[in-house]
């Protein structure tokens, strides 16, 4: 069966702040979220379009429908299409927006589809369908950390998602895995996602793990992250100087010297 998505090569660069460098043959295209591009070589041209370009025959109504779905996820209504218009190979690179890892997913090897948290998608070969998936259970919507809406990637080419901290890849074989709701990055179609109460009342309120845990059941791959961005942001806010208050942050002596040098 011929491949519908463009067949792109890639290289991951770096460790904690990774960049994925995608190599395009002439006329090949990669799609990405707006603002994800890091650099591009001569011969690469880009254009902002409404939609992922996976269905060129969808017409105006189909494009507007896809735009409406992206608005629900909080993403930009446009996706950027990068095409090699030159005569030889050229590269374009994309960077994750916060420290972590970039996960390359060959959709043809994982059943043709994967569900991921709504801000995990970075870029993919043209032909990949980027859509949304509604959680059917109210508990997942209210307490799942990911809300009612997750992103769904479908196709037979390469897609790239990013995660915070270290990535842990698990393969469930008719098994169950309980996870902190913010630590899920992506999972395959054979895995069911639900929310369950985190133990008894005392554990729920004083255990420090939140009131609910995500439960993954079934058979397929699961990708987890050690440092969700929400957890990182909460820790930064805890240690940020309070507006109009005294600065009692860590390293106060050195901090005071630094402020004197800066004239503050």
Kindly list the averaged pLDDT for each block of 10 residues, start to end, along the chain of length 264. Answer: 82 91 96 92 93 67 57 71 95 90 94 89 94 62 54 94 92 93 89 74 50 85 87 74 57 48 48
Residue 119: predicted pLDDT: 82
Residue 23: predicted pLDDT: 97
**CATH for 9-240, among 3.90.180.10, 3.60.160.10, 3.40.50.10470, 3.10.105.10?**
3.60.160.10
Residue 196: predicted pLDDT: 74
Assess contact for 97 and 17: CB atoms under 8 A: no
Residue 95: predicted pLDDT: 93
Residue 138: predicted pLDDT: 46
């Amino acid at each position: 069966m011929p491949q519908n998505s463009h067949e792109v090569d890639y290289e991951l660069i770096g460790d904690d702040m990774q960049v994925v460098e995608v190599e395009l043959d002439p006329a090949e295209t990669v799609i990405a979220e707006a603002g994800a591009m890091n650099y591009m070589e001569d011969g690469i041209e880009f254009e902002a379009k409404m939609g992922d370009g996976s269905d060129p025959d969808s017409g105006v109504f189909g494009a507007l429908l896809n735009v409406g779905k992206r608005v629900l996820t909080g993403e930009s209504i446009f996706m950027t299409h990068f095409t090699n218009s030159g005569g030889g190979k050229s590269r374009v690179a994309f960077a994750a927006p916060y420290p972590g890892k970039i996960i390359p997913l060959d959709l043809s090897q994982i059943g043709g589809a994967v569900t991921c948290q709504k801000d995990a998608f970075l870029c993919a070969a043209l032909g990949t369908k980027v859509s949304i998936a509604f959680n059917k259970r109210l508990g997942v919507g209210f307490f799942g950390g990911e809300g009612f809406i997750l992103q769904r990637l479908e196709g037979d080419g390469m897609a790239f998602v990013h995660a915070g901290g270290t990535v842990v890849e698990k393969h469930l074989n008719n098994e169950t895995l309980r996870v902190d709701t913010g630590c899920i990055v992506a999972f395959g179609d054979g895995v069911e996602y639900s929310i369950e109460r985190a133990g008894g009342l005392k554990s729920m309120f004083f255990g420090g793990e939140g009131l609910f845990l995500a439960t993954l059941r079934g058979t397929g791959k699961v990708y987890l992250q050690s440092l969700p961005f929400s957890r990182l942001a909460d820790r930064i806010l805890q240690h940020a100087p309070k507006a109009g208050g005294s600065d009692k942050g860590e390293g106060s002596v050195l901090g005071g010297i630094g402020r004197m040098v800066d004239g503050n």
